Amino acid sequence: MATDGVPGETTSHDEPAHYDYDLIVIGSGPGGQKAAIAAAKLGRKVAVVERRHMMGGVSVNTGTIPSKTLREAVMYLTGMAQREVYGASYRVKSDITMEDLFARTQHVIGRETEVIRAQLLRNHVDILGGTGSFADAHTIDVLDDDGVRRTRFSTRFVVIATGSRPHRPGTVQFDERSVLDSDGVLALEQVPNSLVVVGAGIIGIEYASMFAALGTRVTVIDKRPAMLEMCDPEVAESLKFHLRDLSVSFRFREEVEGVDSNDHGTVTRLASGKRIAADAVMYSAGRQGQTDSLNLEAAGLSADSRGRIAVDAQYRTAVPNVFAVGDVIGFPALAATSMDQGRLAAYHAFDEPARELASVQPIGIYTIPEISYCGRTEEELTTEAVPYEVGVARYRELARGQIVGDSYGMLKLLVHTETRQLLGVHIFGTSATDLVHIGQAIMACGGTIDYLVDTVLNYPTLSEAYKVAALDATNKIRQVARFSS
């Protein structure tokens, strides 16, 4: 039974029957939710510890869901996606406020939170409101949200799914008004006229593209030589062209030294001596695992300098009954992967047979326009001396591309010239994050582009891009063969 915590109290953990729970999950983000439900489906007694205002985790409250809903609102209200059809001045609303944008975000967050709560409850998962910490590897203290009452629960297994928060450099004074991180953006009162984005990773570029679409003059600063370095360079270049067209400026190979702010606005100081004035600054310079409140030492665990916990291939930490999943274990730190890690951690804990995740995993970057890819890049294939051909389809040559008004989109297939196996898919443009799954499925099954050539696809669709690109690659491979004979 749950007891009020008594410092120094010891509990016998030899008999599983003595535990309050089979599994306590700390954190209700994608990783925690799926771990809890997977264990509940195995008939285990499960509880999730979460703070009152954070049901659904970073994903639902400050990360994936709000940012993607904001993007949808930006796309709709600015009329961005329809401008090729109705003209460059087309707008659904001319003076878009943060209130307009957040109305939709709050609605979606509210609904998502309720869905998650209902899913947990109907699977008989207890929700323990508050902050969880270890008393020992089998004992979790939950401090309620008012910071008053501490309740102690024993458990056979623990899954740590406490996620991450924005990394804040010590040299910068965040004022939650004009010097912000990606959480703070969601509390902006006005659409800024100008914005400095520090960090050209996924978060930085997603928000840069949203504010640029709203008419904000955006400057992106990064110490690296390019943005989104993990992407196909042609795709990244296409996005950069688009962003430049929306008046985004880029300062690469530049390090931010500090930010000054007053009632008029902000000045970002670069190590090179440059000064950039803007209404607001958003830091998106990486994330930090949320492990400081966990009292990991009591369980015999520790985190690295970025708050991350080391796990093995089964998501088991150095302490055998404690697992960790999601952002708190580091790369790839996506909602998409965290969910499956949670499910698998629960299966491994309870010795349920489980298959490893398929190795081909997609990346979706919700910039405007969006990017998605899976499999290998041209650079990787070149380095490994794998013979490959490129097949390209341009949306402007697809009937559906014309219909939706997307003349810039493209889909690129990387194909092994000898086996004709699909090795990589790189997409830029409308519905890229959905379309990528077709290529992912073919790759996961070891499929060749002949499948795409020989298959009838719906018309007119954007999926047709796969067939066009497959034919393009086939033509090139045939031409090399003909010219070589």
Ligand X SMILES: NC(=O)c1ccc[n+]([C@@H]2O[C@H](COP(=O)([O-])OP(=O)(O)OC[C@H]3O[C@@H](n4cnc5c(N)ncnc54)[C@H](O)[C@@H]3O)[C@@H](O)[C@H]2O)c1
Binding-site ranges for ligand FAD (CB under 6 A): 26-32, 49-51, 54, 57-59, 63-64, 67-68, 131-133, 161-164, 182, 203, 290, 293-294, 326-328, 333-336, 338, 366
Distances (CA, A) of 121 to 124, 131, 326, 361: 5, 19, 22, 31
Phi, psi of 393 (to 5 degrees): -125, 135
Could you say whether residue 447 binds ligand X (CB under 6 A)? no
Provide the 8-state DSSP code for 319: S
| Residue found by looking up tokens 């086996």 in the block | 419
Cβ 373 to ligand X, closest distance in Å? 11
Length of the chain: 485
Q: How many angstroms separate the CA atoms of 140 and 2, rounded?
A: 10
Assess 198 for contact with ligand X (CB under 6 A): yes
x-or-dash string of contact with ligand X, 114-153, rule CB under 6 A = ----------------------------------------
61 binds ligand X (CB under 6 A): no
The least CB distance from residue 112 to ligand FAD, in Å, is 12
Amino acid at the residue 9 = E
Which of 71, 156, 242, 287 touches ligand X by CB under 6 A? 287
Helix axes 202-213, 64-78, angle to 10 degrees: 20
- CB closer to ligand X, 105 vs 154: 105
Q: Which one of ligand FAD, ligand X, none is in contact with 340 (Cβ closer than 5 to 8 A by kind)?
A: none
- Pick the stretch among 360-368, 393-401, 416-424, 477-485 that binds ligand X (CB under 6 A): 360-368
Termini Cα distance of the chain: 79
The residues near 420 (Cβ < 8 Å, ≥ 6 apart) are 448, 449, 450, 474, 477
CB-nearer residue toward ligand X: 131 or 338: 338
Tell me how far, at minimum, the Cβ of 289 lies from ligand X, in Å: 12
- Give every strand in the sheet of 410-416, ordered side by side: 363-365, 371-375, 422-428, 410-416, 388-394
Least spacing, CB of residue 356 vs ligand FAD, in Å:
19
Closest CA to 140 of 156, 124, 164, 117: 156
Q: How far is the CB of 371 from ligand X (least distance, A)?
A: 9
For the CB of residue 39, give the shortest distance to ligand X in the complex, in Å. 25
When CB distances are held under 5 to 8 angstroms depending on the partner's kind, the choice from ligand FAD, ligand X, none that residue 26 binds is: ligand FAD
The helix-helix angle for 464-484 and 432-444 (nearest 10°) equals 50
In the bound state with ligand FAD, the residue whose beta carbon lies nearer, of 303 and 398, is 303
Please state the closest distance from residue 298 (CB atom) to ligand FAD, in A. 13
Q: Kindly tell me which of 53 and 482 has the beta carbon lying closer to ligand FAD.
A: 53
**3-class state of residue 61 by DSSP:** helix
286 binds ligand X (CB under 6 A): yes
Phi and psi torsions of 199, nearest 5°: 110, 110
Q: DSSP characters for 323-361?
A: EE-GGGG-TT--HHHHHHHHHHHHHHHTT---PPPPS--
Span near ligand X by CB under 6 A; candidates 24-32, 74-82, 136-144, 285-293: 285-293
For residue 422, the partner it binds in ligand X, ligand FAD, none, with Cβ less than 5 to 8 A by kind, is none
Shortest distance, position 50 Cβ to ligand X, whole Å: 20
> Binding residues for ligand X, per CB under 6 A?
198-204, 206, 221-224, 255-256, 284-287, 332-334, 364-366
